[in-house]
Amino acid sequence: MNIQNNYAGTDRKDSLAKEVPARMLEVGQLFKEMNGRQILNDINFAIEDGGSLAIVGESGSGKSTLAQLIMALKQPTSGQIIFNGQHLPRKGIKAYKAWYRDIQIVFQNTASTLNPALSLFQCLEEPLKNFTTLNRAERKNRILEYLGKVGLREELLRYRPGKLSGGQYQRACLAKALIIHPKLLICDEIVSNLDIVLQQRIIELLKSIQREQGLSLLFITHDLSLVPGLCNDILVMKDGKKIEQFHTSDLHNESARDAYTIALLKSTEMLETKWMIWKESGPSS
């Protein structure tokens, strides 16, 4: 086991184990059945402390179900999820609270992430009140720090979330997830609804925060083109099964790749070409 300092400092209430294992997340022989359907079928992977894994697959392959299991929003039918040396909680408010503090998720459909009745300041202050012992002034400083990190202007703090643009909203959700210094961030299709410029901005932001905070990252996407430069490893899923897992630098090594991964790659390249043509000449029909 590695013994590491908790970068989050002393502001956490009842932190999990101080000894951080080299593996931040371990998923083993994971099965999930829902309404008589096998949604996940023997999924296995691990993410090292500070490591990053992309889970890639077409719609319906089970990516979101996997994220929900890791977030303890659903229970597996069988198998193991071990985070930072702790097993997935099955009961007990304290265990769930520790889990939700150290693992944060940002979804594609973020409309319900920020309470529409609160100002952006109050939305960002909420997790700090729930999960840290920071005082009012410290909370304000932390909010300003993270607002700056995600590239949002201070004046937006007065606004209700409904007044934010799609890109601003997504960045605010990222700030809310990161502001309590989680150990693992799960991003579930977080850039799918954004244009290509905003996609790149969010990816760059994730890279820099990952570098600065030593964050472990699980990045879920159907778009393979987003992964290089962001994640160390790629796990490809299809129909609830793991097709293969490899280092990102081996993505274009076609002789070693599964036919399904190559098909995913080709469809991504086709979409990119279409997008370039569209940008240059406008849509053809």
Ligand X SMILES: Nc1ncnc2c1ncn2[C@@H]1O[C@H](COP(=O)(O)OP(=O)(O)OP(=O)(O)O)[C@@H](O)[C@H]1O
Shortest CB 32 distance to ligand X, Å: 9
Out of 63, 139, 142, 181, point to the residue binding ligand X (CB under 6 A). Answer: 63
Q: In this complex, which beta carbon is closest to ligand X, that of residue 59 or of residue 255?
A: 59
Among 1, 2, 84, 78, CA closest to 44: 78
Q: In this complex, which beta carbon is closest to ligand X, that of residue 39 or of residue 209?
A: 39
Out of 64, 119, 232, 245, point to the residue binding ligand X (CB under 6 A). Answer: 64
Shortest CB 54 distance to ligand X, Å: 13
Q: In this complex, which beta carbon is closest to ligand X, that of residue 16 or of residue 71?
A: 71
Q: What 3-state DSSP class applies to 154? A: helix
Shortest CB 241 distance to ligand X, Å: 12
Between helices 120-131 and 166-178, what is the axis angle to 10°? 20
Structure tokens at 263: 């098909």
Residue 217, amino acid? L
Q: Which window, 5-13, 62-70, 92-100, 227-235, contacts ligand X (CB under 6 A)?
A: 62-70
Q: In this complex, which beta carbon is closest to ligand X, that of residue 69 or of residue 202?
A: 69
Q: Give the distance, in angstroms, between the CA of residue 66 and the centroid of all CA atoms in the same chain.
A: 12
Residues 238/61, Cβ–Cβ less than 8 Å: yes
Q: In this complex, which beta carbon is closest to ligand X, that of residue 34 or of residue 256?
A: 34
For position 60 contacting ligand X by CB under 6 A, the verdict is: yes
HSE on the CB side for 91, CA within 13 Å?
A: 0
For position 57 contacting ligand X by CB under 6 A, the verdict is: yes
57 φ/ψ angles, rounded to the nearest 5 degrees: 180, 160
Judged by CB under 6 A, the number of residues near ligand X is 13
Shortest CB 108 distance to ligand X, Å: 7
Shortest CB 37 distance to ligand X, Å: 5
For position 110 contacting ligand X by CB under 6 A, the verdict is: no
Among 37, 33, 44, CA closest to 81: 44
Question: Any idea which residue has 């932390």 for tokens?
Answer: 142
Dist. CA 79–CA 240, nearest whole Å: 14
Chain residues 18-37 in contact with ligand X, contact rule CB under 6 A: 34-35, 37
Q: Which window, 9-17, 56-64, 115-123, 138-146, contacts ligand X (CB under 6 A)?
A: 56-64
8 φ/ψ angles, rounded to the nearest 5 degrees: -70, -5
Shortest CB 192 distance to ligand X, Å: 8
SS3 content of the chain, % helix, strand, coil (to 5): 40, 25, 35
Which spans of this chain sit near ligand X (rule: CB under 6 A)?
34-35, 37, 39, 57, 59-65, 222
